C-alpha cells in the first residue's frame, strides 16, 4: 500500500473498538425485566428462529433467578452469548415486541439475555444439563461455526459420541473470526466453544475435511455427518486491476481485525469498500476505527436497495463513512503494481429482474475516478462448491445445500446440513437453530425416533 494511515495509540484502538452495547447493571436489568408484559402470545418468541421462551427468561431475571434464566435460554439456543450481543434484534425479537405498537421503546431483550448468560459464564458454567448415557453411535461434524457447535451440543446431550473437525486453528467459525469486535470479542465466542466441549464433544482444529482427512475416512468413522461449513470468500469483481497490491477480500481483512492485534493491521488513508451488505458495513467501520482518514462504500444500486440493515447503515453514517450509490467500479488503476485510483461509472436502475429487483445499468460516458489507497471487496460470499462436490449424491441449488427443513437431512441420507451453507448467508441465530434441528433429524435417522 502506498499511503498507510498512521497507527493509533493503544488507548485510541481500545476506545474505537470498545463495545457499542454496554452490559446492564443489576438494577438496570431488574428494572428492564419488570417492564416485560409477559404477553400471552409472545410475539418475540415467535420472531426468534431458536424460539427462546423470552418472557420466561425475563421473568426469572426480574426475580433474580439468573441460573434458571440461563437454563431457559440455553434450552433453546446453545449460541446464546453471541446471539445476545450480535443478533439483529431490531428485526427479530425486539422488532416484534408489542411496545413498538404502542410507540414505546421495546424491551431490550438482547441485553437482558446477555445479562443472564454473562452471569452463567462468570460463574464458571454451573451444570444445568446432564448428558444421557452413551448410545454407542458416533456423529462427525464438519465445521465448528455456530451451526456445527449447536448440533454437537444437542447430540452430546442425547448420548452421541461427537467429533467436530475444524480447519482453522480456533473453533467458533465467523463468531470467532468475523463478528465486529465492537459487538463482541472472539473470547466470547471461545466461551461458547468451551461450553460445548464441556458436554464431551471433541473438537479437532487444524483439520480440513477433504484435505487433511478424506470424505471416505470421515464416512467410515461416523454413523451420520453434519455439514456446517458456511461459505467461501468473495467472488472476483471481474474488472481489470483486481490483482494489484492494496486489493483485499472483506473476510480476510475482518479476520485480521477480530484478532484484536489492531496495530498490526495496515489500513490505507483512503479506503473504498465495494458492496453494501452488512459485511461491507463491518469492513468499512472497522477500517475507519483503525484510523483510515476517508472510507467510502461503493454500491451499484440505490440507498433503498442496499442489503445492509438500517441500523448498520446508521452506524456507518455515524462513523463518517461516505456512500456512493448507483456507482459501479469499472477498472482499478495502479502505479508500480499498487492500487492508486478506481475508475467508476454511474448507474441507473432499469427493469426488474426475476426476483423483482431493478437491474442497475451503466450510464454511458459517466465514468469518473476516485483516488484510493486500499480497496476492500465485499460483494457476498461464494458457496463452498469445491468442497461440497466431493460428497456423493449431495444436491445443491445455486450452490446452497438442499435439505428437508424438518430434519435438515440432505439428498445423501447420511449427511445433514445447516447454517450459511444451506441459506446462502443469514445470521448466527439461524445457524444455531439449524444445528439443533439437525441433531434431532440425525437422531431420527439413526434410531428412527
Ligand X SMILES: Cc1cc2nc3c(=O)[nH]c(=O)nc-3n(C[C@H](O)[C@H](O)[C@H](O)COP(=O)(O)OP(=O)(O)OC[C@H]3O[C@@H](n4cnc5c(N)ncnc54)[C@H](O)[C@@H]3O)c2cc1C
Instruction: Give the CA radius of gyration of the chain.
Output: 23
Give the range of 124-132, 366-374, 395-403, 428-436 binding ligand X by CB under 6 A. Answer: 428-436
Between 282 and 443, name the residue whose CB sits nearer to ligand X: 282
192 with 78: CB under 8 angstroms?
yes
What are 357's strand-pairing partners? none
Angle made by CA atoms 438, 193, 425, in degrees to the nearest 5: 50
The interface with ligand X within residues 279-338 (CB under 6 A) comprises 279, 282
Interacting residue with ligand X among 21, 67, 71, 168 (CB under 6 A): 168
How many beta carbons lie within 10 A of that of residue 352, not counting itself?
A: 10
112 binds ligand X (CB under 6 A): no
Using CB under 6 A, pick the residue from 106, 167, 181, 268 that binds ligand X. Answer: 167
- Residue among 3 and 412 whose Cβ is closer to ligand X: 412
Q: Hey, what's the cell of 227?
A: 455439514
Asked if 275 interacts with ligand X (CB under 6 A), we say no
Report in angstroms how near the CB of residue 146 gets to ligand X at its nearest: 5
Nearest approach, Cβ of 96 to ligand X (angstroms)?
A: 16
Q: Which is nearer to ligand X, 279 or 396 (CB)?
A: 279
d(CA 248, CA 234): 10
Query: Does residue 438 belong to the site contacting ligand X (CB under 6 A)?
Result: no
Residue reference for cell 498490526: 264
Footprint of ligand X on residues 338-367 (CB under 6 A)? none
Binding residue for ligand X, selected from 96, 174, 306, 446, defined by CB under 6 A? 174
Interface stretch with ligand X, choices 6-14, 113-121, 140-148, 299-307 (CB under 6 A)? 140-148
Q: Are 413 and 394 in contact (CB under 8 A)?
A: no
DSSP letters for 37-106? ---TT-HHHHHSTT---HHHHHHHHHTT-HHHHHHHHHHH-TTHHHHHHHS-GGGTHHHH-GGGTTTSPP
Dihedral sign (CA 9, 11, 12, 14): positive
Kindly identify the residues of this chain, within the stretch 207-226, that bind ligand X according to CB under 6 A. Answer: 208-210
Contact between 142 and ligand X by CB under 6 A: the answer reads yes
Q: Which of 229, 237, 274, 292: binder of ligand X (CB under 6 A)?
A: 229
Q: Which stretch binds ligand X (CB under 6 A): 18-26, 139-147, 268-276, 398-406?
A: 139-147
Stretch of 13-21, 47-55, 70-78, 204-212 contacting ligand X, by CB under 6 A: 204-212
| 94 contributes a contact to ligand X by CB under 6 A | no
Q: Cβ(94)–Cβ(45) under 8 Å?
A: no
Contact present, 86 and 157 (Cβ < 8 Å): no
Tell which one of 73, 428, 433, 439 touches ligand X (CB under 6 A).
Answer: 428
Amino acid at each position: 500500500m502506498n499511503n498507510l494511515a498512521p497507527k493509533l495509540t493503544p488507548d485510541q484502538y481500545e476506545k474505537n473498538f470498545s463495545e457499542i452495547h454496554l452490559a446492564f447493571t443489576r438494577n438496570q436489568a431488574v428494572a428492564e425485566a419488570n417492564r416485560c408484559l409477559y404477553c400471552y402470545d409472545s410475539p418475540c418468541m415467535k420472531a426468534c428462529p431458536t424460539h427462546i421462551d423470552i418472557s420466561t427468561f425475563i421473568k426469572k431475571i426480574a426475580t433474580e433467578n439468573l441460573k434458571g434464566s440461563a437454563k431457559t435460554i440455553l434450552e433453546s439456543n446453545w449460541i446464546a452469548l453471541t446471539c445476545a450481543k450480535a443478533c439483529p434484534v431490531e428485526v427479530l425479537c425486539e422488532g416484534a415486541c408489542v411496545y413498538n405498537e404502542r410507540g414505546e421503546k421495546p424491551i431490550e431483550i438482547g441485553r437482558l439475555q446477555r445479562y443472564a448468560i454473562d452471569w452463567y459464564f462468570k460463574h464458571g458454567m454451573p451444570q444445568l444439563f446432564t448428558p444421557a448415557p452413551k448410545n454407542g453411535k458416533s456423529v462427525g461434524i464438519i465445521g465448528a461455526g455456530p451451526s456445527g457447535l449447536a448440533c454437537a451440543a444437542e447430540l452430546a446431550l442425547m448420548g452421541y459420541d461427537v467429533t467436530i473437525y475444524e480447519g482453522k486453528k480456533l473453533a467458533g467459525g465467523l463468531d470467532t473470526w468475523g463478528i465486529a469486535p465492537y459487538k463482541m470479542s472472539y473470547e466470547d465466542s471461545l466461551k461458547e466453544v468451551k461450553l460445548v466441549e464441556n458436554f464431551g464433544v471433541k473438537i479437532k482444529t487444524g483439520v480440513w475435511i477433504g484435505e487433511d482427512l478424506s470424505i471416505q475416512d470421515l464416512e467410515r468413522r461416523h454413523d451420520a455427518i453434519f455439514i456446517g461449513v458456511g461459505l467461501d470468500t468473495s467472488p472476483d469483481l471481474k474488472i481489470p486491476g483486481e490483482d494489484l497490491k492494496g486489493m483485499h477480500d472483506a473476510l480476510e481483512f475482518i479476520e485480521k481485525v477480530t484478532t484484536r492485534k489492531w496495530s498490526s493491521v495496515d489500513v490505507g488513508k483512503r479506503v473504498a469498500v465495494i458492496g453494501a451488505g452488512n459485511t461491507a458495513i463491518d469492513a468499512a467501520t472497522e477500517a475507519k476505527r483503525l484510523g483510515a482518514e476517508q472510507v467510502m462504500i461503493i454500491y451499484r444500486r440505490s440507498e433503498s436497495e442496499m442489503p445492509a440493515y438500517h441500523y448498520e447503515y446508521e452506524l456507518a453514517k455515524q462513523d463518517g463513512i461516505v456512500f456512493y450509490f448507483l456507482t459501479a467500479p469499472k477498472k482499478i488503476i495502479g502505479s508500480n503494481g499498487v492500487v492508486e485510483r478506481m475508475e467508476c461509472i454511474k448507474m441507473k436502475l432499469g427493469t426488474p429482474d426475476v426476483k423483482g429487483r431493478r437491474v442497475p445499468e451503466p450510464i454511458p460516458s459517466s465514468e469518473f475516478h476516485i483516488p484510493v489507497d486500499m480497496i476492500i471487496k465485499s460483494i457476498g460470499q461464494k458457496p463452498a462448491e469445491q468442497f461440497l462436490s466431493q460428497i456423493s449424491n449431495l444436491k445443491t441449488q445455486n450452490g446452497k445445500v438442499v435439505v428437508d427443513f424438518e430434519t435438515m437431512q440432505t439428498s445423501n441420507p447420511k449427511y445433514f446440513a445447516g447454517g450459511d451453507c444451506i441459506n446462502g448467508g443469514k445470521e448466527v441465530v439461524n445457524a444455531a437453530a439449524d444445528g439443533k434441528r439437525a441433531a434431532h433429524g440425525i437422531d431420527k435417522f439413526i434410531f428412527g425416533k
